[in-house]
Each structure stands twice: as C-alpha cells, then as structure tokens.
Amino acid sequence: MNKKVGIQDLGLKDYKECWDYQERLFQETVDLKIRNRREGAALETPNHFLFVEHPHVYTLGKSGDMTNLLVSEAKLREKGATFYKINRGGDITYHGPGQIVGYPILDLDNFFTDIHKYLRLLEEMVILTLADYGLNGDRSPGETGVWIDVGTPFARKICALGVRASRWVTMHGFAFNVNTDLSYFNMMIPCGIKGKGVTSLNEELGKKEVPMDEVRKKLLSHFGKLFEADLA
C-alpha cells in the first residue's frame, strides 16, 4: 500500500479548470487500478491532496435541488459568480476567496475501504483544526460537514463536504470557511438545509483575517495523523 500523498497548492484557480485537473488525476488512478487487475500487476497507485481557492462559484451536486439556488444565473453573473452542475454527492455549495477548498484524490485501497469512515475523518480533521483555535466544532446528526453550536437554534455550518468515489478512488472534498464573504451564501439554501446558518473561522474568532497558510498547515498536520499518511 502506498501511503504517500502529494500535496499541491493551486492558489486561486477557476473552478472548471480545477475540476478538469481533478478528473484527469482521478481517471489516471482508476485506469491504473484497472490495468493492475487486468494484467495481474502490482503498480503503486498515487494519492494527491489539492488545496485551492476559487473565484465566486456555486456548484450543485448530482442529487441536488435547483430550487435551492435562490437567484437566477443572470443575477449570479452580475455578482461575478459562475454556476456548475457537477458529479459529486450533496446539494448546492458556494466557493469563493477566503475559503480553503481541499480535494483529496486518494486510492482508499491504500488506506481503508470505507467511504463513511473517509467522510468522518475529513470532518475530524476540521474539528481538530477548530480546536487548535479554541473552537468547538461538531457533527450534526444526519448531515455531513462541520458545525458550530450543534443542537441549538444558533447552529451554523463552517465546513461543507461533498465527494465522489469510484473503485475506491475519491475526488471533490471539503470547503472550509476561513475568511469567506458570507453574504454570498444569501443567494442559496446552503447544502439544501433550511433554517441553519453559515459561519467562518474569522467570524467566530472575531478577527478581520486568519492567515490561510497557517490554517492549511494545521489541516495537513491532522490529515497526516488521521490517515497515517506520508505527506510530500
């Protein structure tokens, strides 16, 4: 099993361009697994972890409800935002500057073959990072992602998750609000969940800005320990 994970920071990158890149890495790994099985080979499959920020964009998962987008696509264009229907799970999500988006493209055969565990560990990575800042992040029963003040009228989401997997190879991932302009969430029903708000790390800490590189380093540290991965 190959537990090495190659880390790439793509900076600010167009959503569609990054999606195409994810698809290429994902398909290369799937094709290698098919070849190994067909030829009886034992070539190592790679693992990747992409960090990126996107310009303003809304994405709708394959099981999502279009009515959860509360404005027209023309209105989105006026706000400088784009919109895509994509092939991950989950409903509607917003990405934008100040948000850390992570796309682990892992062959789970190198770690464990359990999608439920995979999602829970991604959540735990964020929960542990929030704890580093003195915040109590938690899971909300029946809902993916990481929340603040779960079980109260003030429950608010700070990190969304949505993944795709085939032959135990993953793509898509998580979106962690760090210094995000939360007004962009007003144009949708986040993740299709009514009656709950959204928040960001800088909002919870009462700071104008939290250093993004610092947060990424904390996320990676927890990811490496939780997945017992060799980060490169």
DSSP 88: S
- Angle between the N-to-C axes of helices 115-132 and 212-227, in degrees from 0 to 180, rounded to the nearest 10: 140
* Catalytic residue of the set 191, 193, 220, 229: 191
1 C-beta neighbours (distance < 10 Å), count: 9
- Residue 96 sits at φ, ψ, to 5 deg, of -165, 175
Instruction: Judge whether 159 counts as a catalytic residue.
Output: no
Contact in structure between 27 and 68 (CB atoms under 8 Å): no
**HSE of 135, CA atoms in CB hemisphere, 13 A:** 25
Kindly give the pairing relationship between strand 57-60 and strand 82-85: parallel
Contact in structure between 82 and 57 (CB atoms under 8 Å): yes
Instruction: Give me the active site residues, please.
Output: 191
